[in-house]
Amino acid sequence: MKIFKLIFKNTMRHKLRTFLTIVGISIAVIAFSLLRTVVTAWYSGEKASSANRLIVRQAVSFIFPLPYSYRDKIAGIPGVKEVTFANWFGGIYIDASNFFARMGVDADTYFDVYSEYVLPKDELDTFKKERNSCVIGSEIAKKYHLKIGDVMTLEGDIYPGTWEFVVRGIYTPKYQSTDATQMLFHWSYIDERMKQEMPGREGDVGWYVVYINDPAKAASISSQIDALFKNSPAETKTESESAFQQGFIQASSAIITSMNFISFIIIGIIMLVLGNTMIMAARERTREYAVLKTLGFSGKHLAGIILGESLLISVLGGGLGLFLSFPIIAGFAEVIPKGMFPVFSLEPVTVIIGVSSVVLVGLVAALFPIQKTLRTRIVEGFRFVG
């Protein structure tokens, strides 16, 4: 007990230096948590992918459409349970800064394939019946204070004009990684209007989503789908939903890798901050440690005192940083556009890495002071003038 009391007294001897060290560590931990959260949020789409879903897109580029006639051919392949489709609509809601996914879908089948979008049956039935209706995610409803029956007006860019949709459903995410920031409406409604206003822009879809019975046959079914349309004017590339999501991530891989690297550089900065404090403290107490050796304190006792002080400061700073990370990251989640990072929260893995790093830093920062103290002879310690 006396050792623990001595550790605490040593820690509080230079209150300002200890306070500044704790603040420095906590700020670094907050920065680490925030960067790691951005990285994990970037990969959230991949985590939400289903092994039973395949994405069929145009082989040249995702931006080119596919003929509607492909749907029945894909559905006829053995092992395919359901085929639905979607089309990126774009558009502007209120102003251009309000970014979230706005897509025209097949109302009859889309929610069968994406069962993680939980929608009450009565709302789904109403959505299927009304051509100009839409379903929105719970996060979109919360941010823009929307409720059932409200009208959402979009200014089209890819599909010009003013488009009005009545909110007939608000879906909730089944899992934490499920995107709750989408707006979904009838593609047939868009298609019919385009036939009248801009002939030639109708009849195609953006991509197909294929639900298969057995994920183990994903590669085989993908090959069969692509073989169906080989040498056609619109060849296809079929891949798992996870691979499809990775394609978007890879476009920004350099940025993500850099942020991930910087987040771990911050751990090194924490180590330098704490290491500097411990070296200064050990240097100031050289004569005190010589006295303790004279009184019979062993090397283990001295190592424990120094290590205990280092761990105490590190844990206090890291604990404060992690505690503050939760409200700070929650604040960022409210400010950033909902569609940019559908899932933006502090992941358990980030907390585990943070806690482990704080303990590791406390251990490593104490190594040099311990080594220096144990190697210093009693006579040299008494002669030291610092």
Q: Which domain holds residue 293?
A: 2-44+253-383
Query: At 359, phi and psi to the nearest 5?
Result: -65, -45
Q: Angle formed by the axes of helices 2-11 and 299-335, to 10°?
A: 50
Instruction: Identify which has the larger pLDDT, 82 or 370.
Output: 82
CA distance 315 to 71: 58
Do 282 and 372 contact (CB within 8 A), yes or no?
yes
- pLDDT of the residue at 278: 83
Residue 241 within any structural domain of the chain: no
Does some domain include residue 246? no
| Angle, CA of 100, 103 and 108, to the nearest 5° | 135
Whether residue 242 lies inside any domain: the answer is: no
Domain boundary among 234, 267, 289: 234
* CA 385 to the chain's CA centroid: 53
Average pLDDT over all residues of the chain: 86
Segment 287-316 mean pLDDT: 85
| 198 and 169 in a common domain | yes
Structure confidence by residue, pLDDT tens digits, 95-114? 888 888 899 999 999 999 99
Last residue of one domain, picked from the residues 234, 261, 284: 234
Number of domain units in the chain: 2
DSSP-derived pairing of the beta strands 101-105 and 182-186: parallel
Indicate if 266 and 229 belong to the same structural domain.
no
Q: How confident is the model at residue 254 (pLDDT cuts 50, 70, 90)?
A: low
| pLDDT exceeds cutoff 80 at 269 | yes
In 3D space, the residue among 271, 233, 237 whose CA is nearest the CA of residue 21 turns out to be 271
**Which of 256, 279, 242 lies closest to 54, judged by CA?**
242
- Give yes or no: residues 230 and 309 share one domain: no
Looking at residue 264, its pLDDT comes to 81
- Give per-residue pLDDT as tens, 130-181: 999 999 999 999 989 999 999 999 998 888 889 999 999 999 998 877 888 8
How many Cα neighbours within 13 Å face the side chain of 19? 4
Q: Are residues 103 and 224 in the same domain?
A: yes
Residue 352 lies in a domain: yes
Contacts of 255 (CB under 8 A, 6+ apart): none
When pLDDT is cut at 50, 70 and 90, the band that residue 249 belongs to is low
- The C-alpha angle with vertex 216 and arms to 212 and 217, in degrees rounded to 5, equals 60
Domain limit, last residue, from 234, 265, 281 = 234
Is 202 a member of any domain? yes
